[in-house]
Structure 1
Amino acid sequence: MSSLPAHINSTDLPTSAPDDLDSPPHTENNNSDVPTSHSPPAAAAELLLNAVKDVRQIIRLVQCPICSNILREPTTLPCGHSICKGCIPRTHRRIGITYPGTDSRMSGFICPIPDCEKEHAVEDCALDVTLNKTLAIVKDTIELDRDAAGSSEVFTHIHIQDRWGVAGLPSLEETEPESRVLNGGRIVATYTLAETGKLDYRGEVSYSSVGVSDDDVEAVDLRVFARLKESVRAEMDCQVCYALFLDPMTTTCGHTFCRSCLQRILDHSHLCPICRRELSMQSRLDPQSFPSNKRLCKIINGFWADLVAVRTQAHRDEGQANSEGFDIPLFVCTLAFPSMPLFLHVFEPRYRLMIERAMEGNRTFGMVLHSMPAARGEPNFKELGTILRIVNIAFFPDGRSLLETVGVSRFRVTRHGWKDGYVVANIERVDDISVAEEEALEASETMGRNGAPSESGDLVEEIPSRSPSPGLLEDLNTVSTRELVDVGVEFVRRMRAQSAFWLTTRTLSIYGNCPTDPVTFPWWFASILPVKDEEKYKLLGTSSVRERLKICCRWIAEWESSRWLATSSL
């Protein structure tokens, strides 16, 4: 079994450990960067030696940046930083948010990490399973070495350096820097100091040996570090590809996977493969919206930089080997939308062949809207489209077929070619922003209307929501996401009462009754409303549920305005 998912892009792979607020000041021996080429065996030994020399960096990997203690019940936040569960600030009732609007997402807190300071939903913060197991193994390993050190003659004198002195500035404190003599080498002694709460997360230390030579202490540290690497290695394997994590991402349920493996999972299911909890994540997993687990990245890139380099290079080689291939066949015809049905009569020989091949494969193909080329040599289709999955198919004796399909996801064509008369293309996914970003967008646009935290931190009473009416369309930015949906649903209800020609029983039997879900409503509405395709096409390029609902509300405003003009002219 290959340990490298076939569809990962080399651009998704970090060539160095992600920048982290938790990062210590840069030191000579900081080896968190991933090599950009294969590391020979001699280099691997050198990496080990250099890593051991930077003992402070090793211990900082297991410290909480808030309380400075060894991480307890480590919780990885949506921003990718990890802190103790007990260091999560006091929660508050979130305001200005109606989508998704579930009770579990209405409790939030302001991130205590200075580089973030965004609002996080409590629901998005779970115990980091991988990090929790790793910390337990590290503790057990250190305990064994500490016990062994107790019966040996190895001691380390640790000097806690004044932070102003480290910065090259005169000390602003009159107290003498603290120093201690502890059992064991530098790794065990520094861990002990952090465990007792005497070592600030950002603090630096210096060492001197007691009773033995520096070479003897270094040999002890090498053995301890080698045992740490060996003992935690098993916890650093992805449960999808069964190889060392590559760009690890931790889900809201606390399980960690390679980013590429999680992308593959979300292509087919929105359930965590381990705990089966639903994941509110988009399959493209843009690093800006869904950051990597910064702590695990540092551990992996620091402990196994040589292995990460090999995997990274293998992904790059694989991507180059597949660069001449195409991802999917394209049906150049009409518009299609995610989660909506589309029925097709396939009669052209080229498309009959394409559908036969799709049925032999994964039963999917891309649908793009036909358009007139802007210039000679330009494609005759729009760049945005929808992946369709064949649900049912009926063949006629002459080779024609009737297809029942359903929209799966959106894409953008990046490169295209021809195969046996039909278009084939390389595509990239088009996904929405994360739920957290969607909530932040709504809150920022509606906050002036819905209230805001007072200076004391308490919430100002919210203004009651106005009942949905066309008057809300005057300034869509002030309207909550839920009200935007209500405007659309109310419009459909009125049109049904007036027996609108486009709301026939047959239409509703195909697309179903009007949904109230903010995600589904725009796609349903675009499928039935008699609006030009050029207008509907705009929905495919959006990245926000709220943005799509605004477009639908503008259609409603234009529709009712045109009906009013038509009535007034009679």
Structure 2
Amino acid sequence: MSPSQPEVVAARPLTGPRESQDQEGAIPPATTRPEQRAQARDIVRLFQCRLCSFPLRDPVTLPCGRSICKQCLPESHLRLHISYPAVPERLQGFQCPFADCGREHAVGDCGLDVVLSKTTELVKDNLARGKAEAARIKMSTRIAVRDEWEIAGIPSLRSPSPTSEILTGGRLVAAWSMAENGQLDFDAEVVYHGMDGESDDGNFAEFEQEALHQVQEVARTEMDCQICYALFFDPLTTPCGHTFCRSCLHRILDHSLYCPICRRKLAMNPLLNRIACPANERLDLIIETFWKEELHARQGILEAEEIGRHESLDVPLFVCTLSFPMVPTFLHIFEPRYRLMIRRAVEGNRMFGMVLPKRAHFSSDREFHELGTLLRIVNVQYYPDGRSLIETMGVSRFRVVEHGMLDGYTIGKTDRIDDISLEEEEALEAREVTPATSPQSEFTTSEHGSPDLATQTQAPLALENQEDIARIPTKQLLEYALDFVARMRANSVPWLTQRMLELYGECPDDPTIFPWWLASMLPVRELEKYKLLETSSVRERLKICCRWIMEWEQSRW
């Protein structure tokens, strides 16, 4: 192909036949497969930063799923009116640089993307070797950026002849070199004017195919989930920068709050909602481009497993009392049907659901409330007569969507209930709290311009009515509740004895655990406690606890 007859490569793989045009039209008959020509530009784009257009350097995946270079992160600012979780890395934030997101991201949610970083480096090293091999056999490609006016469909305004240059290597290596040199914008398309060198066109096509194959091979080594050891499906990157299949992370967080790789503590709430925490967009595109068939096969397997789980009522339900996540529940098992249920649970995954009974007004009504807590059996003590005492720990909340009976006890199909993300939690607090409504908080400022939590001072909090609760920071809600517990303990109230503390543990200062602990201890009506299961945020649960405290002190329930 002569330099006067360039090949135009679209931004996405081509599937239809290419039409011959005159020389000015710049689209000659195809000499290799169209999708092969288009792949070169598309593959390079997979590893380009959308902001600086260079190949990704220390890539960071934002909470919205988009990936950029670490040095392309916008300048951070102090986030206002946020007291929970208020750890130093979350007090600094920045506005998402992508207009279709527009959210404010916390700096602490933007760790180095380990998988994408390793993959980009492997691809870069592989193409560097390909470039060296092309130089050895004296192969080069004439390449130019396609004119924007021509792309827009106004060829009359395009430049007479785009500036092209000869770069060592085939199409893929040449396009990568342009990106490394800062000559190829992320959204730009390219024109190949042909090849130069000693190799004929057949060798050129073989060289291109081998380059593509090598990139696929090296990238594939990093695309397995470290939990299921299969190709990523719906890859989710955690704030610490590690990536897992979303379904695998679901299972891990049922048992542990820590990253399976680095053991950094993870909040359960921001990881499981596809809207609040989208999948890693760049890894999704890489997998879809290179291993589409394998991805679809994996999707079919997962869908079959999901259908199999939902076809049966697989969660045994103990209709007995109210239980909560993250706190223990102690049960005395004596009914034969529940002896059987617990024995099967112990022999299986040691899990069962606890739901609160309710009076059925009609025969078709269920005899329990629809929200419950999944419990994991921690310890079992058997007695000679068949009875047992079991210690359980709350894992997560669920909603019963269907139920039936098995050997005398209830079984059901459930949907897990998750909290809103930490970003949404912080936004909720920022909306409700303003400086005018939280005058009792005074912060000193560190030399970096952020609140210094160690030197924070607060006046004693006094809430006069229920409306005050909704307007104070989350941190002060917790402190108000902790102060109440301290006063009750000093007064030796009956529900806060040493025996109860031995059962449920000392009063936690973690706002994610405290509401569940207080509900387990405080003598409040169970239907009032049930309201906690309906909430979707830590702040809402603390507000409910503070209302209980106000009513307790005003009327002594």
TM-score normalised per structure 1: 0.83
State how many pairs are aligned: 519
Which residue of structure 1 aligns with residue 168 of structure 2? Answer: 183
- Structure 2 Cα separation of the partners of residues 413 and 153 of structure 1: 68
- Structure-1 residue corresponding to 2:470: 477
Distance 1:74 1:344, change over 3 A: same
Equivalent position of 2:20 in the other structure = none
User: Where does residue 324 of structure 1 map in the other structure?
Assistant: 311
Q: Which residue of 1 aligns with 2:274?
A: 287
Q: 2:401 touches 2:414 (CA, 8 Å); kept in 1?
A: yes
- The equivalent residue for 1:435 is 422
Task: State how far apart, in whole Å, the 2-side matches of 1:379 and 1:267 are.
Answer: 27
CA contact 1:270–1:279 (8 Å) conserved in 2:
yes
Aligned equivalent of 2:35, options 50, 53, 63? 50
Give yes or no for the alignment of 1:246 onto 2:233.
yes
Is the CA contact (8 Å cut-off) linking 1:266 and 1:282 kept in structure 2?
Answer: no
What is the alpha-carbon distance in structure 2 between the residues aligned to residue 182 and residue 550 of structure 1? 64
Residue of structure 1 in register with 2:552 after alignment: 559
Q: Which residue of 2 aligns with 1:334?
A: 321
Cross-structure match for 2:363: 376
Tell me which amino acid in the other structure corresponds to 1:314.
I
Which amino acid letter does the alignment assign opposite residue 71 of structure 2? G
> Equivalent of 1:516, from 502, 505, 509?
509
1:548 and 2:541 matched: yes
Question: Are the aligned partners of 1:156 and 1:209 in contact in 2 as well (CA < 8 Å)?
Answer: yes
Aligned counterpart, 2:480: 487
Match of 1:276 among 254, 259, 263: 263
Aligned pairs for 1:410-449 (under 5 A) are 410-449=397-436
Cα distance between partner residues in 2 of 1:484 and 1:346: 38
Deviation at 1:446, TM superposition (A): 1.6
**2: distance between equivalents of 1:391 and 1:515?**
20
d(CA) in 1 for partners of 2:281, 2:535: 29
Deviation at 1:228, TM superposition (A): 0.9
**2:381 aligns to what?**
394
Conserved? CA contact 1:267–1:283, under 8 Å: no
C-alpha distance in 1 between matches for 2:331 and 2:210: 67
Q: Residue 519 of structure 1: SS of its match in structure 2?
A: coil
Q: Please point out which of 359, 362, 366 is paired with 2:353.
A: 366
Counterpart of 1:347 in structure 2 is 334
Distance 2:261 2:503 in 1: 36
Matched with 1:235 is 222
**Matches of 1:523 and 1:149, distance apart in 2:** 65
Over 3 Å counting, the alpha-carbon distance change for 1:321 and 1:389 in structure 2 is closer
Shift in Å, 1:172: 8.6
**Tell me, what secondary structure is at the counterpart of 1:444?**
helix
Equivalent residue number for residue 298 of structure 1:
285
Q: Deviations over 1:239-282 (max 9, x none)?
A: 22222111112222222222222222222222222222222234
Measure, in 1, the Cα distance between the counterparts of 2:159 and 2:86: 53
- The more displaced of 529-538 and 172-181 is 172-181
Q: Secondary structure at 1:130's aligned position in 2?
A: helix
Report the Cα distance in structure 1 between the residues aligned to 2:48 and 2:322, rounded to whole angstroms. 53
Match of 1:17 in 2: none
Matched-pair contact (CA < 8 Å) for 1:52–1:225? no
Which of residues 124, 129, 134 is equivalent to 1:139?
Answer: 124
Report the CA distance shift for 1:393/1:209 in structure 2 as closer, same or farther (over 3 A).
same
Change in CA separation of 1:303 and 1:174 when aligned onto 2, cut-off 3 Å:
closer
Secondary structure of the 1:478 match is coil
CA offsets, 1:323-368, max 9 Å, x none?
4333321110110111222222222111111112222223321110
The aligned residue for residue 156 of structure 1 is 141
**Cα pair 1:284 1:429 within 8 Å, conserved:** no
Partner amino acid, structure 2, of 1:148: E
Per the alignment, residue 99 of structure 1 pairs with 84
From 293, 297, 313, the counterpart of 2:300: 313
Contact 1:468 1:490 (8 Å CA) reproduced: no
Between the aligned partners of 1:89 and 1:406, the Cα distance in structure 2 is 42
Q: Which moved more, 1:420-429 or 1:152-161?
A: 152-161
Q: Distance in 2 between matches of 1:491 and 1:66?
A: 51
Unaligned runs of 5+ in 1: 1-23, 32-47, 452-457
What secondary structure, in the 3-state scheme, does the structure 1 residue paired with 2:121 have? helix
CA-based RMSD of the aligned residues comes to 3.1
Partner letter of residue 197 of structure 1? G
Is 2:527 aligned against 1:534? yes
Question: In structure 2, what is the Cα distance between the partners aligned to 1:70 and 1:460?
Answer: 33
Checking the alignment, whether the CA contact within 8 Å between 1:186 and 1:217 is kept in structure 2 is no
Q: Per the alignment, do residues 285 and 30 of structure 1 end up closer, same or farther by CA in structure 2, a change over 3 Å counting? A: farther
Can you list the C-alpha shifts for 1:74-126, whole angstroms capped at 9, x where unaligned?
A: 11122211111111122222221111122232222222222223222222222
Go from structure 1 to structure 2 and tell me whether the alpha carbon gap of 1:363 and 1:174 turns closer, same or farther (over 3 Å shift).
Answer: closer
Structure 2 Cα separation of the partners of residues 255 and 515 of structure 1: 29
Equivalent residue number for residue 207 of structure 1: 192
- Kindly indicate whether the alpha-carbon contact (under 8 Å) linking 2:326 and 2:393 is maintained by their aligned counterparts in 1: yes
1:33-112 to structure 2, matched below 5 A, reads 50=35, 52-112=37-97
Q: Work out the CA distance in 2 between the residues paired with 1:51 and 1:243.
A: 27
Cα separation, partners in 2 of 1:461 and 1:426, compared to 1, 3 Å: closer
| DSSP 3-state at the match of 1:342 | strand
- The CA distance in 2 between the partners of 1:423 and 1:51, in whole Å, is 58
**Greater length-normalized contact order (CA 8 Å, ≥ 6 residues apart):** 1
Q: Answer yes or no: is 1:503 the counterpart of 2:496.
A: yes
Gap change, CA 1:88 and 1:472, over 3 Å in 2: farther
Residues 488 and 329 of structure 1: CA distance in aligned 2, closer, same or farther (over 3 Å): same
Contact map agreement 2:142 2:196 (CA 8 A) in 1: no
Q: Distance in 2 between matches of 1:390 and 1:375?
A: 34
Q: Percent identity?
A: 50
Name the CA distance, whole Å, in 2 between partners of 1:85 and 1:77: 10
Separation in 2, partners of 1:447, 1:113:
27
Change (3 A) 1:465 1:25: farther
- Distance (Å, rounded) in 1 between the aligned partners of 2:432 and 2:377: 40
Counterpart CA distance in 2 for 1:443 and 1:497 is: 34
Post-superposition CA distance 1:145-198 (Å, at most 9, x none): 212222445433323123344223589998974432322222111111111001
Q: Hey, what's the Cα distance between the residues in 2 that align with 1:65 and 1:238?
A: 25
Tell me how far 1:407 sits from its aligned partner. 1.8
Instruction: Decide whether the 8 Å contact of 2:148 with 2:158 is kept in 1.
Output: no
CA distance in structure 2 between the aligned counterparts of 1:536 and 1:25, rounded to whole angstroms: 60
Question: How big is each residue's C-alpha offset from its partner over 1:34-75, in whole Å with a ceiling of 9 and x where there is no partner?
Answer: xxxxxxxxxxxxxx9726524322111111111111111111
Counterpart residue identity of residue 79, structure 1: C
SS at match of 1:126: coil
2:14 aligned to which of 29, 32, 36 = 29
- Structure 2 Cα separation of the partners of residues 461 and 391 of structure 1: 41
Structure 2: gaps spanning 5 or more residues: 1-8, 17-32, 440-447
Quickly say closer, same or farther: Cα 1:475–1:298, change in 2 above 3 A.
same
